[in-house]
């Protein structure tokens, strides 16, 4: 199946020239860039997948397409259907694009704590956006597990009322498969099989688990590390001391439902300050404008590179574009 993916991707997904039948063919095969300025002098070399190059400017485009197309093949989504999903914004943007092409109505259910650029982008793409208030004491830009529970409640109500299809990215195996079939094989191919480490922040777990599964299937020695926000290290088995952080779409103070411990060789905790500082350095030193979670991923990868054997290749992902965070403190005054 992976071989078939590479054949179709290389020949017809907009990467080999020619005219693509739709924007969906531009999903995937994102650039892999070496961060040789930030990682100068380190034993390991950090390489970064630029997922902001996807049409929806995030890695979630991959999962959105996989979830919808698997639902169509299974008969769960019919012409004229309605799609409802809980989202921090990135999966919503991906689904909005896929639904626009395929003719489905899409309703994104999200917390008001997410950055307003995400809401604006969803509406621009034709999605209906249901904004759910945060818990009392909630802070804008910091979506906690309790905030997410309120969003979940509203999403379930809409699915019942409308008889809608819900991709349910937290529980849908298609979310993991998207990365097992695309992200992982792409990293393997782009590094010519020399990748030694992989790390990624965990929200639904799809990116980490699917990519780790693909890489370890090719070389069981590849070390894969889950990145978590400081104070919300549930995968590491630690008590949650601070569920509120700026790493949107990650660290919901709960182990993802599809978690596979056998794919995880360890965890790395990154705080808000380190994520912010690294995201800013990524922009000013490497010319890559990405969000807070990308900053956390790169900070974790650089940490691995400091302790890795010479010649190691540490891969991670820039989850989305910094353009989704212009209203936050990502951009200095």
Identified catalytic residue from 60, 102, 216, 324: 60
* 0.85 surpassed by pTM: yes
* Among candidate residues 100, 134, 162, the one where a domain is terminated: 162
State what percent of residues in the chain have pLDDT above 70: 92
pLDDT of 208 strictly over 90: yes
195, 296: one domain: yes
Residue 71: which pLDDT band, with cuts at 50, 70 and 90?
Answer: very high
Neighbours of 78 (CB within 10 A): 10
The residue written with tokens 């890795």 in the block is 308
Pair 268, 303: CB distance under 8 Å: yes
Residue 168, domain member (yes or no) = no
145, 33: one domain: no
- What would the pLDDT profile of 35-66 be if each residue is shown by its tens digit? 999 999 999 999 999 999 999 999 999 999 99
Q: At what angle do helices 90-102 and 116-124 cross, to 10 degrees?
A: 0
pLDDT of 7 strictly over 60: no
Angstrom distance (rounded) from CA 209 to CA 262? 10
**Torsion angles phi and psi, residue 172, rounded to 5:** -85, 120
21, 76: one domain: no
| Residue among 166, 175, 147 nearest 88 (CA) | 147
Residue 214: which pLDDT band, with cuts at 50, 70 and 90?
Answer: very high
Residue 331, domain member (yes or no) = no
18, 111: one domain: no
Angstrom distance (rounded) from CA 49 to CA 47? 7
* Number of compact structural domains in the chain: 2
Residue 330, domain member (yes or no) = no
**Torsion angles phi and psi, residue 86, rounded to 5:** -75, 135
Residues in the chain: 333
Question: For residue 312, what are its two tokens?
Answer: 């190691």
**Torsion angles phi and psi, residue 317, rounded to 5:** -125, 140
308, 205: one domain: yes
Can you give the pLDDT at residue 138?
65
Pair 120, 108: CB distance under 8 Å: no
Residue 53 burial (10 A CB sphere; 0-12, 13-18, 19+): middle
* Among candidate residues 127, 162, 197, the one where a domain is terminated: 162
Q: What mean pLDDT is reported for the chain?
A: 91
Mean pLDDT calculated for residue range 212-221: 98
Note the helical H segments in the chain: 2-12, 60-73, 90-102, 116-124, 145-162, 173-178, 184-190, 206-218, 272-286, 292-307
Can you give the pLDDT at residue 135?
77
Mean pLDDT calculated for residue range 220-231: 95
Pair 29, 55: CB distance under 8 Å: no
Name which of 32-46, 140-154, 276-290 the model is least confident about. Answer: 140-154
Name which of 112-116, 174-178, 228-232, 278-282 the model is least confident about. Answer: 112-116
Residue 309, domain member (yes or no) = yes
Residue 235, domain member (yes or no) = yes
182, 48: one domain: yes
Can you give the pLDDT at residue 142?
65
State what percent of residues in the chain have pLDDT above 90: 77
Strand-pairing partners, residue 153, are none
Mean pLDDT calculated for residue range 153-166: 96
Active site residue 60: yes
Q: What range defines the domain where residue 158 resides?
A: 60-162
151, 277: one domain: no
């Amino acid at each position: 199946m992976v071989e078939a993916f590479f054949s179709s991707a290389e020949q017809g997904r907009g990467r080999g020239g020619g005219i693509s039948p739709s924007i969906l063919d531009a999903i995937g095969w994102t650039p892999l860039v070496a961060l040789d300025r930030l990682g100068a002098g380190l034993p390991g070399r950090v390489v970064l997948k630029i997922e902001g190059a996807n049409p929806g400017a995030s890695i979630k485009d991959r999962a959105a397409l996989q979830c919808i197309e698997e639902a169509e093949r299974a008969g769960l989504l019919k012409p004229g259907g309605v799609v409802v999903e809980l989202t921090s914004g990135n999966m919503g943007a991906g689904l909005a694009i896929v639904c626009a092409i395929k003719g489905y109505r899409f309703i994104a259910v999200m917390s008001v704590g997410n950055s307003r650029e995400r809401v604006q982008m969803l509406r621009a793409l034709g999605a209906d956006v249901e904004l759910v208030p945060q818990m009392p004491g909630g802070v804008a830009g910091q979506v906690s597990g309790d905030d997410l529970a309120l969003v979940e409640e509203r999403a379930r109500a809409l699915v019942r009322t409308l008889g809608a299809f819900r991709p349910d990215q937290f529980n849908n195996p298609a979310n993991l498969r998207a990365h097992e079939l695309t992200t992982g094989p792409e990293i393997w191919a782009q590094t010519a099989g020399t990748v030694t480490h992989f790390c990624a922040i965990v929200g639904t777990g799809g990116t980490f688990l699917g990519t780790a599964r693909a890489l370890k299937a090719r070389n069981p020695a590849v070390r894969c590390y889950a990145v978590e926000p400081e104070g919300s290290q549930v995968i590491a088995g630690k008590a949650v001391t601070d569920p509120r952080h700026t790493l949107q779409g990650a660290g919901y103070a709960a182990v993802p439902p599809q978690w596979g411990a056998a794919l995880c060789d360890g965890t790395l905790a990154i705080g808000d300050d380190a994520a912010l500082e690294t995201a800013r350095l990524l922009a000013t030193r490497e010319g890559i404008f990405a969000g807070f979670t990308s900053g956390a991923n790169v900070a974790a990868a650089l940490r691995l590179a400091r302790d890795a054997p010479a010649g190691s290749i540490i891969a991670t992902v820039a989850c989305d574009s910094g353009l989704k965070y212009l209203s936050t403190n990502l951009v200095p005054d």
